[in-house]
Amino acid sequence: MIRGLRSRAPAARRLVSTYNAAPRFTTLSNGTTVVTEQNPHATSAAVGVYFGAGSRAENPYNNGVGALGLAILGLGLKDGVLLSLYATKELNGVIGQSTNENAAAAAKTVASLVSSYAEVIEKSDFAAAKDAQIAKIDALENTPSSMVLEHLNATAFQGHSLGLPTLGTYNSVSDLEHSDATRFLESALVAHNTVISASGNVDHDAIVDAVESSLKLAPGYKAAAPAAPFLGSEVRLRDDTIPKAYISIAAQGEGINSPAYHVAQVAAAIFGSFDHNAAIAKFTSPKLASIVQDYHIVDKYTHFSTSYSDTGLWGFNAEISNLYNIDDFVHFTLKEWNRLTVSITDAEVARGKNAAKVALLGALNSPVAVSSEIASKVLLNGFRASVEQDLASIDAITTSDVKAWASAALWDKDIAIAGTGSIEGLLDYNRARNDMAMMRF
Amino acid sequence: MLSRISARAYSTAPVKLVSRDATGNLSTLSVVVNNAGSKVGKAGVPHLLSKFGFLNNEVKSALRFTREAELLGGAFSSEVTRDAIVLSAQFLKKDLPYFVESLGNAVAKPSFRPHEFTETVKPTALAESAAAHACPEFVALEALHQQSFRKGLGQPLYYSANQSVTFDDVKEFAASAFTAGNVSIVASGVNEADLAEFVAESAFAGLPAGSTSAPAVTTFTGAETRIASSGASVAAFAIPVAKADYAAYEVVAAAAGTSTLVGSAAPLSKIPGADSKLFKYQDAGLFVVSVTGADAHAVASGIKAAKQAVASLSASALSGAVKAAELSVALQDSFEFSHNIKVSADSGKNFKLGPFNYVAVGNTDVLPYADEL
* Sequence-separated (6 or more) residues with CB below 8 Å from residue A309: A90, A225, A255, A256, A257, A380, A381
- State how far the Cα of B43 lies from the Cα of B157, in Å rounded to an integer: 8
Shortest CA gap B190–chain A (Å): 9
Looking at chain A, which residue has its C-alpha nearest residue B97? A8
Instruction: Tell me the chain B residues in contact with residue A201 when contact means C-beta distances shorter than 8 Å.
Output: 2
Instruction: Tell me the chain A residues in contact with residue B21 when contact means C-beta distances shorter than 8 Å.
Output: 18
- In tens, the pLDDT along B26-54 reads 999 999 999 999 999 999 999 999 999 99
Shortest CA gap B119–chain A (Å): 10
What b/e sequence results for A133-152 when a residue is b if at least 16 CB atoms lie within 10 Å of its CB, and e otherwise? Answer: bbebbeeebeebbebbbbbb
What's the pLDDT at A17?
30
Chain B, residues 186-245, CB within 8 A of chain A, namely: 188, 191, 194, 198
Give the dihedral sign, CA B334/B340/B345/B348: negative
Contact across the interface for B333 and A43, Cβ inside 8 Å: yes
- In tens, the pLDDT along A6-42 reads 555 444 433 333 335 678 899 988 889 999 998 888 8
Q: What is the amino acid identity at position A162?
A: L
Question: In which residue ranges of chain A is pLDDT below 50?
Answer: 9-19
Contact across the interface for B67 and A76, Cβ inside 8 Å: no
What's the pLDDT at B154?
95
Shortest CA gap B263–chain A (Å): 4
Give the dihedral sign, CA B77/B81/B86/B91: negative
DSSP annotation string for A12-48: HHHHHT--PPPPEEEE-TTS-EEEEEE-TT-SSEEEE
* Sequence-separated (6 or more) residues with CB below 8 Å from residue A433: A232, A414, A415
Q: What is the amino acid identity at position A340?
A: L
What b/e sequence results for B213-229 when a residue is b if at least 16 CB atoms lie within 10 Å of its CB, and e otherwise? Answer: ebbebebeeebebbbee
**Which of A99, A114, A108 minimizes the C-alpha distance to A46?**
A99
C-beta of residue A321 within 8 angstroms of C-beta of residue A277:
no
What's the pLDDT at B1?
38
Contact across the interface for A18 and B333, Cβ inside 8 Å: no
Q: Tell me, what DSSP letter sits at residue B215?
A: P
Residue A1, Cβ density class (10 Å: 0-12 exposed, 13-18 middle, ≥19 buried): exposed
Cross-strand bridge partners of residue A33? A27, A195
What's the pLDDT at B254?
94
Length of chain A (residues): 441
C-beta of residue B65 within 8 angstroms of C-beta of residue A282:
no
Residuewise pLDDT in 10s, chain B (373 residues):
344 445 566 556 788 999 888 878 899 999 999 999 999 999 999 999 999 999 999 999 999 999 999 999 999 999 999 999 999 999 999 999 999 999 999 999 999 999 999 999 999 999 999 999 999 999 999 999 999 999 999 999 999 999 999 999 999 999 999 999 999 999 999 999 999 999 999 999 999 999 999 999 999 999 999 999 999 999 999 999 999 999 999 999 999 999 889 888 899 999 999 999 999 999 999 999 999 999 999 999 999 999 999 999 999 999 989 989 999 998 888 887 788 888 888 888 888 999 999 999 999 999 999 999 9
Residue spans per domain, chain A = 22-214, 233-434
Count of A-B CB contacts under 8 Å: 160
Strands (E), B200-319: 224-228, 233-242, 274-280, 284-293
Q: Tell me, what DSSP letter sits at residue B364?
A: T
* Sequence-separated (6 or more) residues with CB below 8 Å from residue B25: A18, A20, A357, A361, A387, A391, B92, B93
What's the pLDDT at B263?
82
For the beta carbon of residue A382, count every other beta carbon within 10 angstroms: 10
What's the pLDDT at A80?
84
- State how far the Cα of A231 lies from the Cα of A235, in Å rounded to an integer: 12
**Which of A69, A93, A87 minimizes the C-alpha distance to A186?**
A69
What's the pLDDT at A10?
41
Contact across the interface for A82 and B327, Cβ inside 8 Å: yes
What's the pLDDT at A21?
67
Shortest CA gap B256–chain A (Å): 13
Chain A interface test: which of B129, B201, B327, B340 (most A C-beta within 10 Å):
B327
Chain mean pLDDT for chain B: 92
Shortest CA gap A358–chain B (Å): 6
Compute, in degrees rounded to 10, the torsion defined by CA atoms B300, B305, B308, B310.
-100
CATH superfamily to which A233-434 belongs: Metalloenzyme, LuxS/M16 peptidase-like (3.30.830.10)
User: What is the reported pTM?
Assistant: 0.92
Instruction: Tell me the chain A residues in contact with residue B22 when contact means C-beta distances shorter than 8 Å.
Output: 39, 41
Q: Tell me, what DSSP letter sits at residue B4?
A: H
C-beta of residue A276 within 8 angstroms of C-beta of residue A295:
no
Contact across the interface for B23 and A357, Cβ inside 8 Å: no
C-beta of residue A215 within 8 angstroms of C-beta of residue A251:
no
Among the partner-chain residues A283, A351, A387, the one whose CB lies closest to the CB of B24 is A387
- State how far the Cα of B275 lies from the Cα of B133, in Å rounded to an integer: 20
C-beta of residue B23 within 8 angstroms of C-beta of residue A19:
yes
C-beta of residue B85 within 8 angstroms of C-beta of residue B40:
no
What b/e sequence results for A420-440 when a residue is b if at least 16 CB atoms lie within 10 Å of its CB, and e otherwise? Answer: bbbbebbeebeebbebbbeee
ipTM summary value: 0.91
Shortest CA gap A43–chain B (Å): 6
Cross-strand bridge partners of residue B86? B32, B79
Contact across the interface for B23 and A19, Cβ inside 8 Å: yes
Cross-strand bridge partners of residue B89? B29, B76
What's the pLDDT at B345?
82
List helix spans (H) across A283-439. 287-295, 326-342, 346-362, 367-381, 387-395, 399-409, 429-434
Q: Do A22-214 and A233-434 show the same overall fold?
A: yes
The three-class DSSP label of residue B331 is helix
CATH superfamily to which A22-214 belongs: Metalloenzyme, LuxS/M16 peptidase-like (3.30.830.10)
- State how far the Cα of B37 lies from the Cα of B61, in Å rounded to an integer: 25
Among the partner-chain residues A102, A279, A357, the one whose CB lies closest to the CB of B92 is A357
What's the pLDDT at A1?
55
